[in-house]
Amino acid sequence: MSSFKSSVKFDVVNFEGVVNFRLWKMQVKDVLIQVGLCAMATRDPCNLLENGSQTKNCMGLWSGTRMGWVPAPFSTSTSPRLSKFLKLLSSWTVTDRLRLFKADLREEGSFDEAVKGCDGVFHVAASMIFNVDQQDNIEEYVRKNVIDPEIKGTISLLKSCLKSESVKRVVLTSTISTLTGKDADGERRRLVDESCQTSVDQVWKNKPSGWVYSLLKRLSEDAAFNFASENSIDIVSVITSTVSGPFLTSYIPSSIRVFTAPITGDSDFLRILSNVNERMGSVAVVHTNDICRAHIFLMEHENAKGRYLCCVESCALSELVKRLSRHCAVNFQRSVDEKKNWMPSEVSNKKLKDLGFRFEHGIDDIINETIDACVECGFISRRKHNRSEKTVKKLYYSIWQVIRVGLVQNL
């Protein structure tokens, strides 16, 4: 692949008239935005970047002088989702520059035409499968039906990049699920960075909540970096922490469901959040705007190399619950979250910040804007416990603490 030059520039602008579709419109130059980035898009994307470079409009995928949108990783011409996106054409101001591509990550070469002529490719599509219900031969099932297709699709896209002879960099979306806050002896690390990868063998063995997603992301990322190294592809990955804040999708993204689980009381997503806290030693978060900006930053920065952890702050789950409870009633009481004198691990963003990236939103912004977005779409309510309810809960908790201490003393 040709050497990277920091000539790729982006500007994200509002897409008027399509609020029901919860998508965004981008101005980009010679870049293919692969399926999925819209899921991380912000409610006010025009604030992401402003630059004076000459750009062209596109949505989703862009290839050279053409633009296109692949509505789903496994889309077909008869897909109901495709007809939904076709309606966007009436809202597009320059329809002669918008082109739809039919592509299937399961078919090698499917992205050749879309990638052709691009300077850069964002690969953000991934199956958000946390667990599976399969009981018999579960490991074989996960390998065959989840992990292998993910790896095959990623390598297929990278092969398309090679064929293009124009792509200079690939930015891959990874996840903090590929990291751990414990060392080989199971001891807690005080600092967690990009080098603290999860043990694949341990995940297969223990199968913690969210184990399928952790494996498919870890193994597909490893495969991508190995293929890139063997074929001289410039690849950079963004390790996303728990992404939350405003969103543009017509559904509630999984990351939002995880983040708000203490409010909703959703047991499945609450287990995932608790597992993150246990595995990492804290919960690391990032605003939707900042994670999008980080992708763009790493595409543009010519010195970017390797893996970059993207989080603005991390805190113990008990602290996160406390902060959430200031805004909404929580359905999750975590009485003894950590051992006495236990300090939460710090999830480091040093590598990304040392490269020059600056976060614009702290954890309070993330909480406020997440709740605003969720209240607006009716997912949660700002209803808080009244004073008498709080008093009763505190009384019950005090009684339980007394009983617990008494039981311990009698052992």
As given in the structure block, the two tokens for residue 130 are 């946390």
Segment (H or E) for 170: strand 169-175
Q: Please tell me whether residue 117 adopts helix, strand or coil conformation.
A: coil
Of 84, 217, 390, 394, the active-site residue reads 217
Are the C-beta atoms of 115 and 32 separated by less than 8 Å?
Answer: yes
**CA-based R_g, the chain, Å:** 22
Sheet with 306-310: strands ordered across:
31-33, 120-123, 169-175, 235-240, 306-310
| CB of 282 closer than 8 Å to CB of 347 | yes
Q: How far is CA 303 from CA 205, 226, 300, in A?
A: 38, 20, 9
Alpha-carbon distance of 264 to 266, in angstroms, equals: 5
Residue 361 to residue 311: CA distance in whole angstroms: 10
If you search the block for the tokens 């949505």, which residue do you land on?
59
What ranges make up the beta strands (E) of 29-168?
Answer: 31-33, 56-58, 61-63, 66-68, 120-123
- Structural contact between residues 325 and 148, judged by C-beta atoms closer than 8 angstroms: no
310 forms beta bridges with 240
- Is 205 marked active-site? no
What does DSSP say about strands 283-287 and 25-28: parallel, antiparallel, or unpaired?
unpaired
**b/e per residue 243-264 (b: at least 16 CB within 10 A):** bbbbbbeeebbbbbbbbbbbbb
- Distance in angstroms (rounded) separating the CA atoms of residues 75 and 70: 7
Active site residues: 217
